[in-house]
Every structure is written in C-alpha cells, then in structure tokens.
Amino acid sequence: MRVLVIGSGGREHALVWKLSQSPELTKLYCAPGNGGIGEVAELVDLGAEDVEALTEFAESKDIDLTVVGPEGTLAKGLVDAFEKRGLRVFGPNKAAARLESSKAFAKNLMKKYHIPTGTFAVFDDAQAARAYVRQLGAPIVVKADGLCGGKGTIVAQTLSEALGAIDLLMEDKIFRQAGERVVIEERLVGEEASFIVVTDGTTAVPLLPSQDHKRLQDGDKGPNTGGMGAYAPAPVVDAGLQRRVMDDVILPTIRAMSTEGLSLKGVLYAGLMLTADGPKVLEFNARFGDPETQVILPLLKSDLVPLLDDAVEGRLATSAPCVWETGSCACVVLASGGYPGDFQIGKEIRGLEQAAKQPQVAVFHAGSKRDRDRTLTWGGRVLNVVASGSNLEQALKRVYEAVSGIHFDGMTYRKDIGARALKRPAVTP
Ligand code: AMP
Ligand code: GLY
C-alpha cells in the first residue's frame, strides 16, 4: 500500500514511524514533514494546507491511503477534494470537521443530544457577551469559536480578565474571524484526560486513554502551550470510566453527527474534564492528539494500516481488535527557550543518535530541519522524546535518561511529566 501522511509535527513523525512498520506498506510519503520524518518517509515539498497540489500529488503517485494530521488541513476541505477524485483518505470532510473547527457547533450539538459538557452561551455581539459574564461572574471561560492553534481559550479567574478576553477576541480581533464569535462557558473543575477513538462514522475503536500536560512549567504553572508532554495509559480513566465515556460521550456523538447527516470518519478526540459529576467534554478534535499520539502508538502492537483502512472503508465493526503492550509510554517535549512566546530557531541539536539508540526510546521531531549532517531547531516545540517501560515509573526513568543526553541552546522542558499518575494504581486496558 502506498501511503501519504500530511503534516510536519511530532504527531506526524509518530504516525510515519508506526506506519513504516506495517508489512502492508510499499511506499511512504510525508508532506511537508520535517528533519526527523525524512529519515522514515520520503518528504514532499507541499504545504499541509495546499489542497489542490496535495490532491494532484496523491493522484499522480497512485496513493492508496492518505492520513491527515492537522486540523487546518481538514478545515480547508482536503477530504472533500480527495473524495471528489476518488482518492481514499482518513479524516472527516469539512462539514464533519466543524466538530473541531467551530466550538459553537460542537457545544450546540452536545446540548441538542444531551452529551455531558459545561453550560454555555454563544455570542456574536461583544456587548451581549459582556452582559452575560457580568451576570455570571468569574471564574468563567471565554473561547474563540474558530481554530486558533490551541490559543483561543481563556480560563478567566476574574471578571476583568473575562472582559479583557472578550475585547481581545471580538474588538481587537487578535485571531481575526476565528474570534468574532465566542462561546462563554462555565468553569469546570477536575482532572483532564484525552480519550481518542478511530471511527468510521458508525463504530468506534478506542485507543488508550492518555493525559497531556498543557502548561509550560512544572506543577501545571505558566502559560498554555501546544503540549509539553504526555503519557498513556492514563490510570485515572479506568476500565469503568472508559465504558462510561464510550456510552455517554463517544457513541452518542457519532450517532448525533450521523443524525445531522454528517459522517464522522477518522478520529474523534474528546478532551474531558473528570468532574465530581462525571466526565464532561471540554472540546472535541477531529484528528489525532499531539502529543498524545506520540505515547499511544508505541504501545500499539497491532498494525495501524488495517485499522485506518477499515475506518475509511466503513468496516470497523468487523475489524481485528487493537492489541496493546501491557506497559506505559511517556513523552517529554523539548522546547526552544522563550516558547510559547518568541524564540530563536537554527540551533544545532546534539546527542540525537545516542538517545535514539537507548532501548525502548524513540525521538520524534516536532520542529527540526536537516542541514547537511546537522539537525537544527526549527520551531517552538522541537523534539518529543518518548520511552516505553513495563510501567510508568520505568518509562519515565528511561525518557528522562534519554533527555539528559540531548542538548541545544535554550532547551527547556518539564521535569514532572506523569508525576500525578505515579500516585495512582496502574490500569489494565
Ligand atoms: P480548549 O481550547 O477547549 O481545548 O481548552 C484548552 C484548555 O482550557 C483545556 O485543556 C482546559 O485546561 C481549559 N478549559 C477549557 N474549557 C474549560 C472549562 N469549561 N473549564 C475549565 N477549564 C477549561
Ligand atoms: N493535545 C491537545 C491537542 O491535540 O489538541
């Protein structure tokens, strides 16, 4: 099978790494990829959102299966363009991807179909939004409706912070159109978890539950980032809770989309808050999580190609079940100094080969570039160092040992990935 992966981050590196192990694979491309992905797949110099050129490429190279990484590509309608030309692609079409690309759409769907989530209201008018937050008071959450690269949510502790967020989004339009409409939502309290399934629009195959670490600094302090680390499985989502999330969130959402005439093919990612009243949805994504994918795929023993292929073909109900390793996997993100604010790129990365040679360790590149025999930093999140072990403690020990051998100027990372889970008993998937 000839496969094309679209995207350029650590998630896509993990996808090509896993896909490359498939006996069904005959050729693997990635567009545009990065410095690390180029060692596993042939890089294609096309932007992840250049729908027309990607469609032509897939057609000219007889690609059998295209796997879309980023949400921006889905929101641009790549799946629609591919399907129009009869090209097989893993991901939802533009209309179904609204589950991620419009928070108002997702919240209204949840309300209509009684899927547990925080109470909310949607506003197109700043004056009305201000009146609403004054009425409810803080803490309160203000969210831009559209895609903002994970930066469109403000959890306001005070009324003035909430009013300031409305100004930034709706008056100053810092995210342009994406923030012209806002969702204002009750602040939920609890532990967060990511629950990701592969779906063909009818059936859902759950992957291991995982946990991201969104804040920059240890102890969940500092600004929100694209994710500073992750681990799987997350013991907080035990077998009973997994069933409850499937029954109360995942399957009702897939049915709701279908009732609305939308086929949710690809990934359904539920970002959950585990509240005292049970799991509630914070957000839906219509693609693999980043960096969750980097810790889920190393634990997947069975082949990824047939799973994605069966989702595209609508035959997940008869698909072979996923087989998982019994241990745990942890990921530490190495970021450029200054990230998520301003940072410099072009710093030489040392120690990569040595780190990757360690047992059960993989180094996925998130923002790097090959420059002859050197690898340079080329983004805010640079590397995802990943290690597996028979339990989380061992995985963490291995991952931090591997991290200690890697260097670049300004390198920064969290030292407490997985710390919360170590306090809990292990979970069997
Ligand atoms: P989102 O953009 O919806 O993915 O939210 C980003 C992050 O903001 C989440 O991972 C949570 O940490 C936080 N967040 C979002 N919505 C809420 C909420 N209703 N209550 C508390 N925290 C929230
Ligand atoms: N890890 C958060 C996300 O993928 O959106």
Q: What is the pLDDT of residues 178-231, one digit of tens each?
A: 999 999 999 999 999 999 999 999 999 999 999 999 999 999 999 889 899 999
387-411 as b/e, with b when 16 or more CB fall inside 10 Å?
Answer: bbbeebebbbebbbebbebbebeeb
* Ligand 2 touching residue 227 (CB < 6 A): yes
Ligand 1 geometric centre to CA of 193 (Å) = 11
Answer whether 226 contacts ligand 2 (Cβ < 6 A). Answer: no
Amino acid at 348: E
Positive or negative: CA dihedral 213, 220, 394, 413: positive
- Confidence label for 327 from pLDDT (cuts 50, 70 and 90): very high
Ligand nearest the Cα of residue 145 is 1
For residue 120, the ligand closest to its alpha carbon is 1
- Please give the average per-residue pLDDT across 95-122, as a whole number: 98
Question: Are 309 and 377 contained in the same domain?
Answer: no
pLDDT tens digit string along 262-292?
Answer: 989 999 999 999 999 999 999 999 999 999 9
Instruction: Please tell me whether residues 175 and 217 are part of one structural domain.
Output: no
CATH number at residue 390: 3.90.600.10
Burial of 20 (0-12, 13-18, 19+ CB in 10 A): middle
Residue 73 has pLDDT above 70, yes or no: yes
Residues 309, 333, single domain; the answer is no
Query: Region 232-259: what's the mean pLDDT?
Result: 97
Q: Are residues 68 and 133 both part of a single domain? A: no
* Ligand 1 centroid from CA 185, angstroms: 9
Q: What is the mean pLDDT of the chain?
A: 96
Q: Is residue 107 part of a domain?
A: no
- 351-360 long-range contacts, Cβ below 8 Å, gap at least 24? 351/405, 351/406, 351/407, 352/383, 352/406, 354/405, 355/385, 355/402, 355/403, 355/405, 355/406, 358/387, 358/398, 358/401, 358/402, 359/398, 360/387, 360/388, 360/389, 360/395, 360/398
Let me know whether 158 and 202 are in one domain.
no
Q: How far does the chain reach from its first CA to its final CA, in angstroms? A: 30
Measure 48 CA to ligand 1 centroid, in angstroms.
Answer: 26
pLDDT of 21: 98
Distance CA 206, CA 196 (A): 6
| CATH code for the domain of 256 | 3.30.470.20
- Looking at the fold, whether 35 and 82 belong to one and the same domain comes out as yes
Q: Is residue 369 situated within a structural domain?
A: yes
| Domain stops at, among 297, 318, 339 | 318
What's the total number of domains in the chain? 4
Backbone angles phi, psi at 428, to 5 degrees: -105, 130
Under DSSP, the state recorded for 319 is S
pLDDT in tens, 43-71: 999 999 999 999 999 999 999 999 999 99
In a domain, 102, yes or no: no
Answer whether residue 16 is part of any domain. yes
Ligand 1, CB cutoff 6 Å, lining residues: 118, 141, 143, 153, 155, 185, 187-188, 192, 214, 271, 282-283
Q: 257 with 372, same domain?
A: no
What amino acid is encoded at 147 in this protein? L
User: Residue 140 sits in a domain of what CATH number?
Assistant: 3.30.1490.20
Q: Are residues 336 and 298 in the same domain?
A: no
Residues with Cβ within 8 Å of residue 280, at least 6 apart in sequence: 116, 117, 118, 188, 272, 273
pLDDT of residue 132: 97
Q: Which ligand is nearest to the CA of 211?
A: 2
CA 289 to ligand 2 center in whole angstroms: 4
Q: Which two tokens stand for residue 196?
A: 């990701």
Mutate to test the pocket of ligand 1, among 99, 105, 119, 141 (most ligand atoms within 8 A of CB): 141
Say if 362 falls within a structural domain: yes
Q: Which domain holds residue 347?
A: 328-423
Residue to mutate (ligand 2; options 148, 290, 294, 381; most atoms within 8 A of CB): 290
Q: How far is the CA of 84 from the centre of ligand 1 (A)?
A: 36
Structure tokens given for 338: 């200054």
Quick check: is 382 in a domain? yes
* 3-state DSSP assignment of residue 350: strand
Residue 120 within a domain: no
> Number of C-alpha atoms within 13 angstroms, CB side, residue 382?
31
Of the three residues 158, 180, 202, the one that is the final residue of a domain is 180
Whole-structure pTM value: 0.96
Residue 340 corresponds to which amino acid? P
- pLDDT(429) > 50: no
Q: Which ligand is nearest to the CA of 151?
A: 1
Contact yes or no for 391/426 (Cβ under 8 A): yes
Q: How far apart are the CA of 360 and the centre of ligand 2, in A?
A: 24
pLDDT over 90 percentage in the chain: 94
Separation of CA 290 and ligand 2 centre (Å): 5
Q: Give, using CA atoms, the residue closest to atom 11 of ligand 1.
A: 282
In a domain, 109, yes or no: no
User: Are 304 and 195 within one domain?
Assistant: yes
Q: What is the pLDDT of residues 24-36, one digit of tens each?
A: 999 999 999 999 9
Residues 281 and 373 occupy one common structural domain: no
Least confident of 106-110, 146-150, 253-257, 279-283: 146-150
Residues 196 and 293 in one domain: yes
Ligand 2 atom nearest residue 292's Cα? 1
Question: Of the residues 74, 269, 272, 331, which should be mutated to test ligand 2's pocket, given the most ligand atoms within 8 Å of the CB?
Answer: 269
Considering the domain architecture, whether residues 309 and 214 belong to the same structural domain is answered as yes
The rounded Å distance from CA 123 to ligand 2 centre is 25
Which of these three, 67, 91, 115, is where a domain ends? 91
Ligand 1: atom nearest CA of 186 is 19
Mutate to test the pocket of ligand 2, among 11, 15, 194, 294 (most ligand atoms within 8 A of CB): 194
Residue 146 has pLDDT above 80, yes or no: yes
